[in-house]
Amino acid sequence: MAYIRDYEHDVFVSYAHLDNESGGEQPGWVTNFVQDLGKEVRQRLGTKDLTIWIDKKLSGNLPLTPEIMEAVRRSATLLVVMSPAYLNSQWCARERNSFLSFAADCVKYGRIFVVTQRDTEKTPAPEEFGDLLGFRFWTKDEETDVSRPLVRPDKEYAQRVVQLSDDLGKTLRRLNNGGGDGSKAASVQGSGDVSVFLARSTDDLEEREENLKRYLAQAGINVLPRTWYPDHTVAAFTAAMAADLGGCKAFVQLLSASRGRKIGPGGKRYAALQQEIAKTSRRPLLVWRSPDIDLKSIDDDDHRDRLDSARACNFEEFKRAVVEEARREPPRPKQKSANVVAFLDVDLPDMRIAKEVADYLLLEHGIECFWPVRSGKPEELRKDLERQLLECDGLLLVYGSTEPLWVRDQWHQIRKVTSGRERPLAARALFLAPPAEKEELGFKVPVMTIDCREGIKPERLLAFVNELRAQA
């Protein structure tokens, strides 16, 4: 019996049968993995009512049968066991696409779980998965640099089964409670309003990185990023990271003796680039390294300087320091006379909430606010908009109930007009207003994002206020 009402199966497992071969009478990797995951999820949900559909009959890559097609259609979630064999299988692709055709926006709303059983770095992941981070179930030997799947005796295997079961259990519980496709995707995140940015670590620190994520989630602190960033160029990576950093209280990074991989052909290394971007954001930097690292053994001068400036302390102590920083109340800006001006670029459907933001900025921080006028000749309205964009100190582009095309058009106008300013804007941000669920804008730009889709949260506007005051 399935746990989710109106579904025959709670989880459909899509995998390549080559990855389940054991070469003997013992169960294969996928069989053992599904058994371990199912046990953990049932215990978390407190019920035996959990149905995981996995095809054990077929051998090799054979066409999809009506039975499999129906199982896909009647499944609440999809669990993909990613590997080179999976990516090379046309039948696995058809299973995946069948599920996507039945469950609209299932990637966006957390109904797909990706488990990488083997290193697939040289093979691009399917576009349908977007930028899902997934769960890594393989490791690489440090001496030989050879990768292999994690198996039951490995400590990391058990830890990641537990982590995945927690995420999957949360999603199933949400769906069972009527969350449907309109709820936020379940992930290893805290439940509060505070977020920190955790930089991508080198492979040798992956276990510590996961440990820190779980610790922060238990403390009610959200961890960004939630997706992989485009890394074909440094510019693409920088734009994506800068957008996420705008909503974070602090930048957190774990460093090892390894400098890590480079980003893009001939680009900078991840550790160096992420720290450079963070420094421009003016967020607090919390960087950790093991006290056991011998700095004299580090040949690269830049990397040695980064390690030297990092906190060389016990990891548990560092974790507590991150939580303390995330919970620290930002200094309240001193009340000043209204000598700083913010322009709220807003469409008519979102005017009410824009005026509420304006009241807060003026009454709490002494910031004058203007917004577009609605009456007048088109040429007069255009000139007024240009004047506001040229003379204001800060800009909030409001996206609430209005159409995405209006926001995109406004952004192009903002870029065009502000390029002619004598001095750059002191602060600019994309303000996400209610409703919570809205269409994608179809762009990522290196500006602060203020997420108030559930209603105005003053603490989320403080980063904009502080930046505006500091620069204006």
Helix (H) or strand (E) holding 450: strand 448-451
The DSSP code sequence of 58-106 is: --SS-PPPHHHHHHHHTEEEEEEEE-HHHHT-HHHHHHHHHHHHHSTTT
Burial label for 324, CB within 10 Å (0-12, 13-18, 19+), is: exposed
Indicate the SS3 state at residue 356.
Answer: helix
- CA count, 13 A, side-chain hemisphere, 450: 26
pLDDT of 66: 67
- The parts of the chain modelled with pLDDT lower than 50 are 58-62, 104, 181-191, 336-337
pLDDT in tens, 7-18: 889 999 989 888
Domain with CATH 3.40.50.10140 in the chain: 9-182, 195-327, 340-471
pLDDT of 190: 47
Structure tokens of 444?
């990522």
pLDDT in tens, 385-410: 999 999 999 999 999 999 999 999 99
CA dihedral angle for residue 376, residue 377, residue 382, residue 388, rounded to 10 degrees: -20
Q: How far apart are CA 352 and CA 371, in angstroms?
A: 11
pLDDT of 185: 34
CATH class of residue range 195-327: alpha beta
Q: How far apart are CA 298 and CA 42, in angstroms?
A: 48
The structure's pTM equals 0.45
Query: Could you name the CATH architecture of 340-471?
Result: 3-Layer(aba) Sandwich (3.40)
Identity at 80, one-letter amino acid code: V
Structure tokens of 102?
């039945």
Indicate the SS3 state at residue 409.
Answer: helix
CATH of domain 9-182: 3.40.50.10140
pLDDT of 130: 55
Structure tokens of 468?
């505006």
pLDDT of 257: 93
pLDDT in tens, 345-396: 999 989 999 999 999 999 888 899 999 988 888 898 999 999 999 999 999 9
